[in-house]
Amino acid sequence: MDALTDTNVIINSIEAVTEWRGLWAFLIGMVGSVAYFTVVYFGFVGSGKESRDLILGYFWGKNGRTTLAKVAWYSLVGGLIAGVFQLAERAFVPVQSFILGATWPSIVGQLLSGRQSGLPPGGPLGDKGITPDTSKLEEDKAARVAREATDLLAEPGQTPQGGQPTPGP
Amino acid sequence: MMSQQASQPLRSRVELFLEPASKTNKLPDTAALVNVLEKFSEGHAAVVIVDSQERPVGIFTPSDMTRIRQAFLQDRKTPAKDLMSAPVEWVELSDTIEHALDLMQSKGIHTGIAVVTDRRSQKYAGYLYRSSMAKMLSAMLGPKAF
């Protein structure tokens, strides 16, 4: 049964490539990603300015403005993910590709969190939302923020006042 | 069996797990964003702003980093209190870990929670990090708990 499924996926993949479905899915996925970015950029979604800035912050460069390179990178990944999901389909699924392109960060996040956690949900501490996994995530987040803060303090014209000495390049 | 094991440490008092205010993350409400960034760069995952009576009036966590960066790049002298998240959720030193976790869960707080000495004075006593709670609870429960 599994072998049959695997064979079907391989056949679908070959067909997807030869019939250019994969390429179309890739392009539509990119359109989905750009559409999502546009909607956030103009503030049509989100509970307020803060949530909008939080999302757009990931697209900012060092000057505090949105960089086209990051938008292109985001869209490229959205397109690639849409293309990968198309490989498992026998028919061309443009709507799925568009939705995947628009929502790929949450889909990837769900896939990763579902596979990385070896702990059963709702264990003795799990129902309190506290597990070694979340602890590790919090530590990683703190380390990332520490790096960002150090970088910001080291921006040209800014002399760190007290605190940790700024590491060299 | 497992829930009985877990219930004992969860009834422990907050003060056992606390990172005391003396070595933390506390800044006066006159501080600027640059001071907040210094605290973050020292490795604190949360920075608590206190008023002249040492009561927590605002907080910065990693989720505030985007707007801190934006404001800092525009004006490096921006006062911290213009951007801090307020009001601050807190627990008392005498509260249980279970209460602290329940409060964090219900309010969607991820990094940790501020601790005050008592309800009356609301003087800032320290910060209770979720990560340190997880480590200590894990050690108290032993490897079999997971």
Q: What are phi and psi of B115, to 5 degrees?
A: -125, 135
List the alpha helices (DSSP H) in chain A: 2-18, 21-41, 49-56, 68-87, 94-116, 132-153
Most confident of A16-20, A45-49, A89-93: A89-93
Which amino acid, A169?
A: P
Q: Judge: A145–B66 Cβ closer than 8 Å, yes or no.
A: no
Q: Helices B130-141 and B97-107: crossing angle, nearest 10°?
A: 140
Tell me, what's the pLDDT at B59? 92
Contact A73, A5 (CB under 8 A): no
Whole-complex ipTM: 0.72
Tell me, what's the pLDDT at A128? 53
Q: Helices A94-116 and A68-87: crossing angle, nearest 10°?
A: 90
Q: Residue B1 — pLDDT band, cuts 50, 70, 90?
A: very low
Query: Which residues in A lie closer than 8 A to residue B39 (C-beta atoms)?
Result: 149, 163
Most confident of A32-46, A74-88, A150-164: A74-88
Neighbours of B91 (CB within 10 A): 24
Q: How far is A36 from chain B (nearest CA, A)?
A: 19
Instruction: Please tell me which residue, A123 or A35, carries the higher pLDDT value.
Output: A35
Distance (Å, rounded) from C-alpha B5 to C-alpha B9? 8
Distance (Å, rounded) from C-alpha B133 to C-alpha B141? 12
Structure-block tokens of residue B56: 């927590």
How many residues does this entry show for chain A? 169
Share of chain B above pLDDT 70, in %: 84
Give the distance, in angstroms, between the CA of residue B86 and the centroid of all CA atoms in the same chain. Answer: 13
Q: Judge: B138–A53 Cβ closer than 8 Å, yes or no.
A: no
Query: Which residues in B lie closer than 8 A to residue A53 (C-beta atoms)?
Result: 66-67, 70
Contact A149, B40 (CB under 8 A): yes
Most confident of A105-109, A111-115, A163-167, B25-29: B25-29
Across A60-69, A81-90, A126-135, B132-141, least confident range = A126-135
Is the model's pLDDT at B9 over the cut of 80?
A: no
Is the model's pLDDT at B102 over the cut of 90?
A: no
- Chain B residue whose CA is closest to A155: B73
Q: Which of A50, A57, A150 sits opposite B41 (nearest CB)?
A: A150
Nearest alpha-carbon partner for B62 in B41, B77, B82: B41
Cis (ω within 30 of 0) for the bond into B87? Answer: yes
Is the model's pLDDT at B2 over the cut of 50?
A: no
Tell me, what's the pLDDT at A136? 56
The domain spans of chain B are: 2-145
Q: Which of A152, A160, A162 sits opposite B72 (nearest CB)?
A: A152
Give the distance, in angstroms, between the CA of residue B57 and the centroid of all CA atoms in the same chain. Answer: 12
Is the model's pLDDT at A17 over the cut of 70?
A: no
Q: Judge: B62–A145 Cβ closer than 8 Å, yes or no.
A: yes
Query: Which residues in B lie closer than 8 A to residue A54 (C-beta atoms)?
Result: 63, 66-67
CATH architecture assignment, domain B2-145: Roll (3.10)
Size of interface A-B (CB pairs under 8 A): 120
Is the model's pLDDT at A76 over the cut of 90?
A: yes
Is the model's pLDDT at B143 over the cut of 60?
A: no
Q: Which of A55, A59, A67, A130 is the best mutation test for B, with the most CBs of B within 10 A?
A: A130
Q: Judge: A129–B63 Cβ closer than 8 Å, yes or no.
A: no
Distance (Å, rounded) from C-alpha B59 to C-alpha A127? 26
What is the pLDDT averaged over residues B100-126? Answer: 87
Q: How many CA atoms lie within 13 A of B104 on its CB side?
A: 24
**Which residues are CB-contacts of B50 (< 8 A; sequence separation ≥ 6)?**
B26, B27, B28, B29, B56, B57, B124
Is the model's pLDDT at A163 over the cut of 50?
A: no
Q: Residue A151 — pLDDT band, cuts 50, 70, 90?
A: confident
If interface means Cβ-Cβ distance under 8 Å, which residues of chain A face chain B? 50, 53-54, 57-58, 60, 63-64, 119, 123-125, 128-132, 134-136, 138-139, 141-146, 148-150, 152-153, 155, 158, 160-164
